[in-house]
Chains A and B, each alone.
Chain A
Amino acid sequence: AQTVTQSQPEMSVQEAETVTLSCTYDTSESDYYLFWYKQPPSRQMILVIRQEAYKQQNATENRFSVNFQKAAKSFSLKISDSQLGDAAMYFCAYRSAGGYQAGTALIFGKGTTLSVSS
């Protein structure tokens, strides 16, 4: 079974600084998708970024980028120029690409709470 591990329960960063959230996963599959979701205090889960395992290029979305190391099974999220609005819980998630029904559910890590100070 696949597992996702976020080893940092809490992180903090100052405004305008850069922070990196860690995520490792365990799988025997070769094709899969990885995600970072953000959950602010409003509780609405929002997709931050997505990575397809067969793509070697790291995904980027504005100030958010990932460092995807397939061999090491590592998928870290870098937030540049941190803003107060980035304060939230961040979840790393895995989804298999094989098997239509079995593959659609997400497997989540336990989350990292990010605080941003001014």
Chain B
Amino acid sequence: DVKVTQSSRYLVKRTGEKVFLECVQDMDHENMFWYRQDPGLGLRLIYFSYDVKMKEKGDIPEGYSVSREKKERFSLILESASTNQTSMYLCASSPGDIKAIQYFGAGTRLSVL
């Protein structure tokens, strides 16, 4: 079974802190994604990566950055957390085949106080 693991289920941080959300997949997938999920808004793409050290902005990249130094790991970074970044964050991965489906992690619920 494909496994996408997000390091934390729940996280509480203070405004202005630097926050790292980690995601690891065990299936050698080329593509990895970070989505943000908010009630009434569905899932919105923050960033995605199609190869090591390669990244593309999604629909809502402001206030976020990403890092992919190894194929299996994709990190989402909040340089200076703000209260409007309180949300659920979902990581996903998929093979490079255009027909392939995305596999999701269990999500990290982040609260910024």
Asked if residues B88 and A101 are in contact (CB atoms below 8 Å), the reply is: no
Which residues in A have their C-beta under 8 angstroms from that of B94?
A: 104
| Size of A's binding interface in residues, CB under 8 A | 28
Evaluate whether A52 and B106 lie within 8 angstroms (CB atoms) in the complex, with A43-B88, A91-B43, A104-B31 already known: no
Question: A17-42: contact bitstring with B at CB < 8 Å (1 yes, 0 no)?
Answer: 00000000000000001010100001
Which residues in A have their C-beta under 8 angstroms from that of B104?
A: 37, 44-46
Task: Tell me if A's interface is mostly helix, strand, loop or mixed.
Answer: loop
Which residues in B have their C-beta under 8 angstroms from that of A44?
A: 104-107
Evaluate whether A105 and B33 lie within 8 angstroms (CB atoms) in the complex, with A44-B104, A91-B43, A100-B50 already known: yes
Q: Which of A100, A102, A106 contacts B102 (CB 8 A)?
A: A106
B68 shortest CB reach to chain A, Å: 14
Bound together, the chains give a CA A42 to CA B106 distance in angstroms of 7
Q: Which of A4, A43, A52, A106 contacts B107 (CB 8 A)?
A: A43
Top 7 closest pairs, chain A to chain B, by CB = A45-B104, A110-B42, A108-B43, A108-B42, A43-B107, A105-B45, A44-B106
